[in-house]
Amino acid sequence: MPELPEVENVRRGLTALIVGKTVQAVGTDWAKILVGGLEGFQQALTGATVTAVERRGKYLLLRFDNALTLVSHLRMEGKYQLVLDPAEPKHRFVHVWFTFSDGTQLRYHDMRKFGRMQLVPTGSEATAVAGLAKMGPEPTAETFAAPAFYRELRRHKQAVKSVILDQSVVAGVGNIYADETLWLAELNPEQPACTLTQKEAARLHDAIIAELAAATDLGGTSVHSFVDASGKRGGFQERLHVYDREGTGCDRCGTTIVKIKVGQRGTHYCPKCQPLRKRKLR
């Protein structure tokens, strides 16, 4: 958390709130968030104007008119807020702030301090940022090809859930949507990826695209602390079928949802709808 739908909604909010604003100052009380340190951010961004806010996978890309891009990864708890008065007291979890020439201030909240921001020349993100270098396709019909996905699954003997969490396979899927898409596709999260049939892989492919699109349209999922850049909670938590629903009945068959660990991640599924099928490893 946040995953692709949440980050996309943050992107949309920031686009409306900060594009066209010029940075007057950068501040922090936890410099580790700023890769390279505060001084470099101050020198590079003072006087620079935000021209666009884009997204790649779970990363935000803030474009500036000086040919630099700020790559922001929210990690577990990161969130942005625009305040109209920089003199307004900062919450104790505000660790980075960008003051604009119009008197507003963009504040970055991060309770765990796991998030990171990195400045790179615009256009170099894919090579300059480790997490973007091997990023897989975006989960859309135009960029995420079912045949290529099936070939990728055949290469992996580990659990299919672990494979779709790998950002080099498909961008943006995290723990919540991995559980949900596997439920939609009626696949066991522990099923070895290489044992999926082409039909099963196609169902999973289509479920990933549909689920992430639906979650994005509803503002993302706020099961914990997620809010968008305007402070609004998502609405997709009302449509979760298995995630965080252990002990309740499956929406499809009524069987009790169970929780296990797959690759050290809490995992929810329906034992009846998603049976583990014994097949030879390919």
Active site residues: 2-3, 58, 265
Q: Which residue has the tokens 């942005």?
A: 80
